Structure 1
Amino acid sequence: MGLDPGLRRLALGTLLAAYPGPVPPDWAVDLVADGLAGHTLFGRNIHQPAQVAASTAALRTGRPDVLIAIDEEGGDVTRLAHATGSPYPGNAALGAIDDVSLTRQIHHAIGAELVGLGITVNLAPTVDVNSADDNPVIGTRSFGADPARVAAHAAAATAGLQAAGVAACAKHFPGHGATVADSHHELPTVDVPPDLLRRRDLPPFAAVVAAGARAVMTAHIRVPALTGDRPATFSRAVLVDLLRDEYGFTGTVITDALEMKGAALAAGGIAPGAVLALAAGADLLCIGARVDADLVERVAAEIVAALGDGRLARSRVEQAAGRAAELAAWTRAAGTSTGTPTRLGYAAARRAVHVEGVLTGLGRPLVVQLHAAATIAEGRVPWGLGPHLHDTEQIRVVATEADPEDLCRRAGSRPIVLVGRHLHRLPGGPELVATLAARHPVVVVEMGWPASWRPPGVRAFVTTYGASHANGRAAAEALGLTR
């Protein structure tokens, strides 16, 4: 016996699915026609602009007000430019520049590009305060470690995106910046009193609410004082008492991907997690990236079953679907600003570069890029100085496997430029830098979160505050290695 059509449609109205490949399969469009709230686009869905525009148009044949979302943060997290790296610097670079008008311009440009491709919701900006130098998943996605600065730029980014006509979704509530674990792999804990959250982590969310953010994304983090043993995504104390009642948010609460281990392990699976998130006050459930029609139907069936056995009140699911529909209505009524990437991002990235030490006399150095694994949020996006170098040798090595003597022999009389991401916590990174600097002229280019670590003995330490295509070009220019 199949699901009641009305209840199935109601359940589908709370779900953000996804599909594989550059062309929406029939089932993805059919589900939209049946009431699915929308789809999230990932790198695997993006080949080139005309193809993306054709995909979003195809999804609209299912229903004109379908929500089409994407994680286009600029900087290290990009889907549109996953093959090359983003032409925009990310939030850490913008926070370092500390020009809120520039932040608004950059995010307006990103928003205009999305609108031009038919994308209606940007799962950005990241407004977490990165208070932990060893945070493995936020880092350069954050505007910084100062709550007031992050709040100012969070509001500017939100305003820029929405002025372009794309809905902003600020993330990750109530703040992922103090974690030293990645919620894609486990459930991180932030064991602090609520008063500290209010002082450190929550000011940017207050700022985006005041700026009119249409959506806020939940964090799969545990804050024992508020959430007990469960993640914030499943906590009514966080999503209703704190976000709605205390901070006055009236828009759409979107979950982070329910396939992430921080949620799925705590709930016993994606479908049970969907029920828990709805019961806690979430409105739009991001299922994840690895989605097919069967998974969507299983999640919808679990929601319908929960309506029948009392785990969910119909009024709660109707409220959630209604807020998702309100978000869709806003995106249809928003402006039609369109655009393509501009040189704005490259100029901004140059402003963010910070040089400590002396860069003169480098000539044609040996550039050594240290391998650094990407997070799931970032994906495998090219980074480094390589695409921007002119007549300069570059090699790539793993820090723990590199032979300092061999690198010095290869460099000969040339200086060595060591390029890395999050070098202070890269296995073998600090040791390799120290060994090389003790016997050879070395310049370090840090393209991740810079932290406070500065290696002794290097000629210069260059901080880019990100590893986007724009950041890489800015670093190569600062070193005098471009044409």
Structure 2
Amino acid sequence: MTDEISRLARATLLPAFSGATAPRWLLDELDRGLAGVTLFAINGNVPGAEELAALTRELRRDADPVIAIDEEGGDVTRLGHLTGSPYPGNAALGAADDTDLTRRVYRSLGAELAAAGVGLDFAPSVDVNTAADNPIVGTRSFGADPALVARHAAAAVQGMQEAGVAACAKHFPGHGATVVDSHLAVPAIEADLALLERRELVPFRAAIEAGVQSVMTGHLALPSLTGDEPATLSHAAITGLLRDHLGYQGVIVTDALDMKGASGDIGLPEASVRALRAGADLLCLGSREYGASVQAIVDAVVAAVRSGRLPHERLADAAARARRLTFRPSGTTADRALGLAAARRALRATGRPAVPSPALVVELEAPGNIAVGPVPWGLGGWTGDGTDVVRVAGAEADPAALLERATGRGLVVVVRDAHRHPDQRKLTETLLAARPEAVIVEMGLPIWRPEGAAHLATYGASSANARAAAEFLGLIRTPG
């Protein structure tokens, strides 16, 4: 009986590992029934497309695991972590507001994942980003209007799954109304069921109707529904709201359980037991811990089943649902040119952004959140001869030195979510006071705009967004 429970427990786990080849412990765990893995660029799993394809073939040599990745395109990219994504993210697609375009972009992104052997993508984010100062969603959302987010959520799901890769609508029941990062704490969203129905749940209903194969829970509390407990660990949220109220019968996967919003006070094994008990089917363990965490979680789940805390039937149901995720690539071909075309359509100009040559581009450093990670951004990779690029921290920069360097040149100031960074705003205003004709490029959400300034919004910081902006401003003299 214990061996059976252990195998069922393993069938719900998606651990991480280090490197571009499968370690022995992982291959052994797959033999013992492990559900699969989550790939992370920060763990060295994605050094390049060919290496990733070789890794997934190795993982599938003797088993049929779920191979998952968090590839949203735009700012959150694992395939493009070295260069930036060739696809714009959700905010840009929402700005363009062409659902056929969104479907085709996600289909192309899915084709790249399928070619690399990845069968489950933790995308799209279908959060309605109603909190302007949201530190974790922002450009990952299609927008602040539930209806807009819903129609693009459905299109994204359709496109990804047309490529044969399972999509995952996240972060249930909606992470857009919080100003707290659930990597660091448990956000609380003050919303009753009526408000959830008008706002957060609208895109999830659309994704479910579009046939989304999985839904990811968020580590956020709804006091009116879950009390202080995060949704990932809440029976009321997962079974009550998602299963019973919305009628969702697909696979429910947790956000990374090593995040403090889920396991910070109780540890990974206990968080795993509670998530399964609440109704989750697949447990994304996060980017750390590796093999030791698998055995510790299995031991905790076995103990919970034997003590009656976790019904055997619930564990068996979770394992059975997890097995529904099968990898069936459709042979769809990727179209990276579509990503650039979409980024061009997302651009929004205010005033008359024009940059004389030669030009100085001043990029103001902005820390990315944990979900984004260390991905390159900015216009520097796309500027041609005669354009100088300098990256500075707003709090430490010397405005006089920058203005002197810009003498006789056109001036472009690149910011990223300036509404969230007072140092960016202060330096930008100082530069504009001396050079009012300077052009401001916002590569986050264009919530703050200096009055009277020429302004270009990209709605994201992907490579595609950057190239589209550089072209628009004439900084690419000979497009490649």
Amino acid corresponding to residue 58 of structure 2 in structure 1: A
Kindly indicate whether residue 335 of structure 2 is the aligned counterpart of residue 337 of structure 1.
no
Q: 3-state SS of the aligned residue for 1:467? A: coil
Give the counterpart of 2:422 among 419, 427, 430. 427
CA shift, 1:128, in A, is 0.3
1:165 aligned partner: 164
2:433 corresponds, among 405, 420, 438, to 438
Q: Does 1:299 align with 2:297?
A: yes
Q: Deviations over 1:95-123 (max 9, x none)?
A: 00000000000000111111111111011
Given candidates 320, 324, 327, the residue that maps to 2:325 is 327
CA deviation vs aligned residue, 1:128-158 (integer Å, no higher than 9, x gap)? 0011111011000000010000000000000
Q: Do 1:113 and 1:341's aligned partners in 2 also have CA atoms closer than 8 Å? A: no
**Candidates 382, 389, 396, aligned match of 2:391:** 396
Amino acid at match of 2:363: Q
1:408 counterpart = 2:403: yes
CA distance, structure 1, for counterparts of residue 155 and residue 231 of structure 2: 26
Asked whether the 8 Å contact 1:60–1:66 carries over to 2, the reply is yes
Structure 1 residue 192 displacement after superposition: 1.9
Cα distance in structure 1, aligned partners of 2:27 and 2:330: 23
**Aligned-residue offset at 1:341:** 5.0
How far, CA to CA, are the matches of 1:393 and 1:281 in structure 2? Answer: 54
The structural deviation recorded for 1:400 is 0.7
Q: What residue in structure 2 maps to residue 59 of structure 1?
A: 59
| 1:469 match | 463
Cα distance in 1 for residues equivalent to 2:332 and 2:369: 30
SS at match of 1:327: coil
Q: Which runs of 5+ in 2 are unaligned?
A: none
Kept in 2, the 8 Å contact 1:226–1:238? The answer is yes
Using the TM superposition, give the Cα deviation of residue 255 of structure 1 relative to its aligned residue in structure 2, in angstroms.
0.2
The CA distance in 1 between the partners of 2:462 and 2:330, in whole Å, is 27
- How far has the Cα of 1:477 moved from its partner? 0.5
Aligned match of 1:288:
286
Which of 342, 348, 357 is the aligned partner of 2:342? 348
Once the two structures are superposed, residues 210-259 of structure 1 have per-residue CA deviations (whole angstroms, 9 ceiling, x without a partner) of 00001000000011001101100011111111111111111000000000
CA contact (8 A) 1:161 1:167 kept: yes
TM-score by length of 1: 0.96
Residues of 2 paired with 1:348 and 1:336: CA distance? Answer: 23
Q: Is contact 2:20–2:45 with CA below 8 Å preserved after alignment?
A: yes
Q: Deviations over 1:361-393 (max 9, x none)?
A: 522221001111111111100001011000210
| Equivalenced residues, count | 473
Return the offset for 1:338: 4.3
1:61 to partner: Cα distance: 2.1
Task: Report if the CA contact (8 A) 2:88-2:342 is conserved.
Answer: yes
Query: Partner residue of 1:372?
Result: 366
Task: Find out whether 1:176 has 2:175 as its counterpart.
Answer: yes
The CA distance in 2 between the partners of 1:39 and 1:218, in whole Å, is 18
From 444, 447, 457, the equivalent of 1:448 is: 444
Give the letter aligned to residue 233 of structure 2: F
Q: Distance in 1 between matches of 2:9 and 2:456?
A: 51
CA shift for structure 1 position 5: 2.2
Q: Which region of structure 1 is more displaced relative to structure 2, 379-388 or 23-32?
A: 23-32
| Paired residue type of 1:449 | L
Secondary structure at the residue paired with 1:254?
A: strand
SS of residue paired to 2:434 = coil
Question: Given the two structures, how large is their TM-score scaled by the length of structure 2?
Answer: 0.97
Distance (whole Å) between structure 2 residues aligned to residue 106 and residue 291 of structure 1: 34
1:190 has 2:189 as partner: yes
2: CA distance, partners of 1:279 / 1:418 = 51
Q: How many Å separate the matches in 1 of 2:295 and 2:238? A: 26
Q: Distance in 1 between matches of 2:358 and 2:37?
A: 48
The letter of the residue matching 2:438 is: V
Q: Does 1:245 align with 2:244?
A: yes
Identity percentage of aligned residues: 52
Structure 1, gaps ≥5 residues long: none
Q: CA RMSD in A?
A: 1.2
1:24-423 counterparts in 2 under 5 A?
Answer: 24-43=22-41, 44-63=44-63, 65-266=64-265, 268-328=266-326, 331=327, 334-391=328-385, 392-423=387-418
Q: Distance in 1 between matches of 2:403 and 2:452?
A: 15
AA aligned opposite 1:175? G
2:429 partner amino acid: A
